[in-house]
Structure 1
Amino acid sequence: MEITSVPFLNPEEYSLFCSFFQDFDNDGETSVNKSRKIDEKNKSLSEILEVIDETEIPTSKFEIPSSEFENRASEMGDWEQGRVRKGRNQSPATFHDGETAEDGGGQRRRLWVKERSKGWWKYLDSDECSDGEFRKAFRMSKGTFNMICDELESVVMKKNTMLRMAIPVRQRVAVCIYRLATGDPLRTVSSLFGLGISTCHKLVLEVCAAIRSVLMPKYLKWPDQERLQEIKTTFGSISGIPNVNGSIYTTHISIIAPKTNQEAYYNRKHTERNQKPSYSTTVQGLVDPRGVFTDVCIGYPGSMSDEQILEKSALSQRSKLGMLENTWVVGNSGYYLKDWVLVPYTHQNLSWSQHAFNQRLDELQMIAKDAFMRLKGRWGCLQKRTEVKLQELPMVLGACCVLHNICEMHNEEMDVELRFNLYDDEMELDSSRGISVNALQARDGIAHSLMHCK
């Protein structure tokens, strides 16, 4: 819009106007004096107006169309009378799908909704999109995605309002999964799905909460006795080590330095390797032979060792309740040897049987490590420093673990280029801590049997 201007009075002429109105309102003078001054001011005013009339103003440049002026004046009048009137318009308001809204009196309401393109999402949600294209964007097939939408529909679905149509369930779930899968900035997600940035952020948190409340009890749970026996049998056939109920591993998720209690989240090992201050939170997981999580512990600070996290986890509480008797959890050298935790020999000059035991144990430990590699490979938001608030992060990480389990159970293949290498440093443990004599004898017995069995 071009901004124009008209000639103004010079200071001398302006002072005549100003003094004219000031004197006109002076109540202390007589009517005769007032009339005399008024005549003088009128004479001066007429002279000024003659000067203005003689000044030629190019009307082609400064003339304002009467229709536009009337519209502007009408809008300003509406604003002065109140915001309610301004919010009403004779032209119909448009929803996301082209519908209009009316208030209780049958009048149309003006909706300030920014139109955005949804072409990318509409293509992926159509039959024209191949399963390979869909899997590249969401790390899962259309069938698995449809199943997740069906499971979450009752919790995620919102009702249409009088002002606008609700975002469909499939689009809500897609925004969350795409954000977790790619880790793209919210601005990119907003442009792809045709939604506002704040709306996308809100949808991610809402769907993650729904995954935790609806899908986690179904797809991330402690195995029953029948399933536990299958796990022991499968682990035994892989390594020859009996009664193994899971392989445990702990990974770190980089975070922005928190405003409070920074020292608790300071990751010394990552700082030394990256040559810059690093802060993290942790995810501890126990997996079965397929790489499916059967137990997770999320959210402890990155300064804690793997052993400290294990002591505070629900897995340790199960052992105290006697739920892990006569079973083994396989861990790396970041854990202490316990009556229910089996770790490799760490001293030098290993015997043949001890060396063979470590090799077999490493095969089981790699199952857990590979599961975490696929977890971070599928969900790119875990590969970079997350910007999610610390209090909301456990919910997002838990959703990633649940979606990982769903993909593993549905045999979803992961592209080779998505493979992610882990950089989790095992913290040194205090070897002076007392270790159960029964655990030492049990480990030696297993190592001896592995050496002498076929």
Structure 2
Amino acid sequence: MEISSCPFLSSDDFSQFYPTPYPELQTSPPPNSPPWKKRRKENDVIEITADDVVLKDKDSSNNNTRIKEILSSLLMFEDENERENQPESWLISPQNSGSGPVHTPAPQTQLAEAEVNDPKQKNKRSRTATDSQAGAGAAPATAPSTQRRLWVKDRSKDWWDKCSHPDYPEQEFQKSFRMSKATFNMVCEELEPVITKKDTMLRAAIPVRQRVAVCIWRLATGEPLRLVSKRFGLGISTCHKLVLEVCAAIKTTLMPRFLQWPDDARLSEIKDEYELMSGIPNVGGSIYTTHIPIIAPKVNVGAYFNKRHTERNQKTSYSITVQGVVDPNGVFTDVCIGWPGSMPDDKVLEQSALFQRANRGLLNNVWMVGNSGVPLMDWVLVPYTHKNLTWTQHSFNEKIGDIQKVARDSFCRLKRRWGCLQKRTEVKLQELPVVLGACCVLHNICEMRKEVIDPEIANSFELFDDEMLPENAVRSATAIQARDHIAHNLLHHGLGGTSFL
């Protein structure tokens, strides 16, 4: 049984509703004695006690019945004035199953202030009144159904209602969510079976489109959760939970389709496209590594310290790394996320699944083109880094730069499209890789669908290179010969030739 939150009836209100009090209750307690202390059920007889007032007659059915009638009459009805004074956003009124208003009754007595504030006493009185009505022979007629009073704050959803309207301008929608309405609808359709929730008796579930919109808008703008809450009319904790749930659904549902290592047929197409672009054969991808700023972690803080960012920004910075391999269209085919920011690019590469794939012999006859931050290996092609380059080496570096620019530009669009990657996020460190992985998947979807970034957003961010020369820049003598041969062919054979792979 639910007890109403309205105040108890005062003595004046009691005399107004019940002008003829029962004579049995005219006895007043002593001046220093407390008011009615408790009310309990004992041997199916109601006992009302004070210091010197006891009404108890086990043998008299008349007195017993009358006391029960008194208690039944002391049910509180909600005060309509108090009801009007309550904020509309915090009140859900009961539903009417018949004619007239429906109220939630509760037994009341005049209580001391300490007793009123004691929830145990309230629950005990509530149970006692219910038992007394049942013992008095009151027919348990079908009571009108009532709805629970819920403490749910009514927040404005005007902004989201306007954005979700079919007449909302396409350009404004794309500026807010970094994708067109068609792409957004496609993402919602793909995630609907995973993130759909059922309505409950207490509240309606948040629609799928709103769930996805909360996540994408948060990733796109990087705004704090309190602003996301105001935009969508949801609680801050609810918005945070939605972001994590949708990102996890993107990782499990969309990543297997939109971010996968290419099969043999697609890999052959990638090689042809890169060779047409640069003249270098057998290039299967371009590698690049970037850093995502984070709040200083509580554990192993030194491992996440970013020296380059600290020197450039004149402010202590911490980060984690994101390494990616992209195809000629700027679509990620492999990502490695989450290693501490103090690790150089070559160490991140050694810890990646790409490195393990190469060790298993799955990258034979394939070059991965990297920058000067990774070493030259049998399957990794990097530019010359020593001084006084020859014309052949200089020409080779230019062609390598064209391939490397594909990956760099792709990472630049990634950070421009998802503003959460440009600033320190509120997401916990252990949950951040899932969020970053979702950004990479959504980036691939936008790149595949030829989504264009708004010029104002594109010009508001500049990507800085943080690569550091590895201690051992050359790890394969065979790779040295292969690189020299490719460089010679590029200069003397019209950008053609074969490699020593």
1:286–1:296 contact (8 Å) kept in structure 2: yes
Q: What does residue 163 of structure 2 align with? A: 124
1:333–1:426 contact (8 Å) kept in structure 2: yes
Q: 2:340 aligns with which of 295, 301, 306?
A: 301
Q: What does residue 278 of structure 1 align with? A: 317
Q: What is the CA-CA distance between 1:422 and the residue it aligns to?
A: 1.0
Q: 2:228 aligns with which of 162, 174, 189?
A: 189
Q: Is structure 2 residue 429 aligned with structure 1 residue 402?
A: no
Counterpart of 2:122, as a letter, is Q
SS of the aligned residue for 1:401 comes to helix
State how far apart, in whole Å, the 1-side matches of 2:108 and 2:185 are: 51
State how far apart, in whole Å, the 2-side matches of 1:76 and 1:286 are: 72
What RMSD, in angstroms, separates the aligned Cα atoms of the two structures? 2.6
Q: Once the two structures are superposed, what CA deviation does each residue of 1:163-184 show, in whole Å capped at 9, x if it has no partner? A: 1100000000000000000011
State how far apart, in whole Å, the 2-side matches of 1:210 and 1:69 are: 46
Gaps of 5+ in 1: 1-18, 23-65, 87-103
Q: What is the CA-CA distance between 1:421 and the residue it aligns to?
A: 1.2
Residues 203 and 441 of structure 1: CA distance in aligned 2, closer, same or farther (over 3 Å): same
Q: 1:446 aligns with which of 469, 482, 486?
A: 486
Q: What does residue 98 of structure 1 align with? A: none
Q: 1:110 aligns with which of 149, 163, 173?
A: 149
Q: 2:374 aligns with which of 332, 335, 342?
A: 335
Residues 412 and 20 of structure 1: CA distance in aligned 2, closer, same or farther (over 3 Å): closer
SS of the aligned residue for 1:150 comes to helix
More helix per residue: 1 or 2?
1
Residues 105 and 156 of structure 1: CA distance in aligned 2, closer, same or farther (over 3 Å): farther
TM-score norm. by structure 1 comes to 0.78
Q: What is the CA-CA distance between 1:247 and the residue it aligns to?
A: 0.2
Residues 69 and 272 of structure 1: CA distance in aligned 2, closer, same or farther (over 3 Å): closer
State how far apart, in whole Å, the 2-side matches of 1:253 and 1:355 are: 32
SS of the aligned residue for 2:393 comes to helix
Q: Once the two structures are superposed, what CA deviation does each residue of 1:221-260 show, in whole Å capped at 9, x if it has no partner? A: 0001110000000000000000000000000000111011
Counterpart of 1:395, as a letter, is V
Q: Is structure 2 residue 470 aligned with structure 1 residue 429?
A: yes
Q: What does residue 150 of structure 1 align with? A: 189
1:266–1:279 contact (8 Å) kept in structure 2: yes
Q: 1:261 aligns with which of 292, 300, 324?
A: 300
Q: What is the CA-CA distance between 1:428 and the residue it aligns to?
A: 2.6
State how far apart, in whole Å, the 1-side matches of 2:82 and 2:257 are: 65
Q: 1:381 aligns with which of 415, 420, 427?
A: 420
Q: What is the CA-CA distance between 1:82 and the residue it aligns to?
A: 2.8
Counterpart of 2:413, as a letter, is R
2:107–2:126 contact (8 Å) kept in structure 1: no
Q: What does residue 286 of structure 2 align with? A: 247
Identity value in percent: 62
Counterpart of 1:273, as a letter, is R
Q: What is the CA-CA distance between 1:202 and the residue it aligns to?
A: 0.5
1:252–1:424 contact (8 Å) kept in structure 2: no
SS of the aligned residue for 1:283 comes to strand
Counterpart of 1:304, as a letter, is M
Q: What does residue 236 of structure 1 align with? A: 275
Q: What is the CA-CA distance between 1:21 and the residue it aligns to?
A: 4.6
Residues 221 and 105 of structure 1: CA distance in aligned 2, closer, same or farther (over 3 Å): farther
State how far apart, in whole Å, the 2-side matches of 1:116 and 1:451 are: 66
How many correspondences in the alignment?
A: 375
1:291–1:370 contact (8 Å) kept in structure 2: yes
Residues 127 and 83 of structure 1: CA distance in aligned 2, closer, same or farther (over 3 Å): farther
List aligned pairs for 1:21-420, cutoff 5 A: 21=32, 80-82=121-123, 106-419=145-458, 420=461
Counterpart of 1:425, as a letter, is D
TM-score norm. by structure 2 comes to 0.71
Gaps of 5+ in 2: 1-29, 34-78, 86-104, 110-115, 128-142, 495-501
State how far apart, in whole Å, the 2-side matches of 1:207 and 1:289 are: 29
Counterpart of 1:279, as a letter, is Y
Q: What is the CA-CA distance between 1:317 and the residue it aligns to?
A: 0.5
With 109-118 and 234-243 compared, the bigger mean Cα shift is at 109-118
Report runs of 4+ in structure 1 exceeding 4 Å deviation: 19-22, 66-80, 83-86
1:332–1:344 contact (8 Å) kept in structure 2: yes
